[in-house]
Amino acid sequence: MDLFGIGQLIDPADLTLGGCGSTGLDSTASVVVFETELQGCGSTLMMTEDSLIYGFDLNYQPKALGDTPIVRTNEAVVGIQCHYMRLHNVSSNALQPTWIPYRSTMSAEDVLVFSLRLMTDDWQAERTSNVFFLGDTMNIEASVVQANHVPLRVFADSCVATLVPDLNAVPRYAFIENHGCLMDAKLTDSRSKFLPRVQDDKLKIQLDSFRFFQDSRSSVYIICHLKATAASATTDSQYKACSFSTAANRWMAAGGNDQVCGCCDASCGFRKGRSVEAALQGEGDATLGPIIVQSAQEAEPEFQMLPVVTKDHKAAAASPEVVVLAAVVAIAGLVCVTVLLTVLLRKRHKLSV
């Protein structure tokens, strides 16, 4: 199986699905078969307004070749997603009349459903690829399904990035904290920010892509604790979406009330004189990932560096110093040949006399 498309075959035994080994192999079709429950093999569940999405990591961990200590392929993690429509059963057949849609069940139990999605650059659709390069901007949409609930406004209370889908994993990077303060631009001088609100039940986050220092793994998971309040409630230090503007050197709110962001450099505690619990309609965690963040070196095979080396050699050969040196050598050689011919002619003349 040529996993990387470089003509180097891999051993299917080096492939695992979230730590689970394969259950079958079709060598003729170059197909490796994995069978697992949707909740098995380290899967993660994400929910959107229309879909249930089960995410898996296909891991490739090459072993040394034969009795040698070498490998000829890199490690790799490939994200796999299984999408199921929330208003249909898992076989996508028509619903039976006695089956109660998931959203109706959630509404009846007064349970809110929070989700995170990667969006396209125009924010009009969910992004089909989870692969980014360093320097790219990730568009992340946090949302809450309202169903028959009162109109809601969603907030990202806190968000962390990890290498595995575990909130407490190490290393971890808390880029939203203090009840809705997006710290990334403040800490790293990035372009990360909340975009101005267009819909109360959706919150748009732009996050500059990154990788963890001195770690070769390219997969990143984002885990956020989301909260929802009544859309009619006013924002305050507990329910806000604040970004740091490096150009203006100040905090700015996605809803326009910048005063609620005044505590982002300190501690955003409870404000006296207001019942915070009365404003809160629901809260929950949502996970996004794996997001694959690659460096430029990973995007191009090593053999593509050869033309660069060739160009460097050509540039050196065309430098003025090399041209002058070549001219001096040529002149010296011409003088030597002239002198040698003169000596030979004189000797020949003497012999003839």
Domain count, the chain: 2
Shared domain check, 114 and 84: no
- Residue whose structure tokens are 């072993």: 63
pTM of the model: 0.56
Shared domain check, 133 and 69: no
Q: What is the spatial order of strands in the sheet that 172-177 belongs to?
A: 131-133, 280-294, 219-230, 152-162, 172-177, 181-182, 242-245, 250-253
Contact call for residues 249 and 319 (beta carbons, < 8 A): no
Shared domain check, 150 and 13: no
Kindly list the distances between the CA atom of residue 208 and the CA atoms of 129, 185, 314, in Å, as whole numbers in the listed order: 16, 9, 38
For 305, which DSSP code? Answer: G
User: What CATH number does the domain containing 126 carry?
Assistant: 2.60.40.4100
Domain end point (choices 54, 69, 99): 99
Domain end point (choices 99, 118, 139): 99
Q: Minimal CA–CA distance to 80: which of 59, 65, 66? A: 59
Structural domain including 233 reads 110-299
- Residue whose structure tokens are 């490939």: 78
Which sign does the torsion angle of CA 61, 62, 63, 68 carry?
negative
Q: Specify the pLDDT at position 45.
A: 85
User: What CATH number does the domain containing 56 carry?
Assistant: 2.60.40.3210
- Residue whose structure tokens are 């050699």: 313
What are the helix (H) ranges across 179-226? Answer: 184-188
Shared domain check, 153 and 17: no
Residue 303's SS3 state is helix
**CA atoms of 116 and 210, how far apart (whole Å):** 18
Shared domain check, 283 and 238: yes
Consecutive 10-residue averages of pLDDT for the chain (353 residues): 66 86 81 85 82 86 68 76 70 48 46 89 93 93 81 94 90 93 91 93 94 87 94 89 92 90 87 56 90 74 35 41 53 58 56 48
Q: Specify the pLDDT at position 287.
A: 93
Amino acid at position 235, single letter: T
- Residue whose structure tokens are 């300190």: 266
Identify whether 320 is part of a domain.
Answer: no
Q: What is the 3-state secondary structure (H, E, C) of 84-120?
A: EECCCCCCCCCCCCCCCCHHHHHHHCCCCEEEEEEEC
Q: Extract the tokens encoding 112.
A: 């809110």
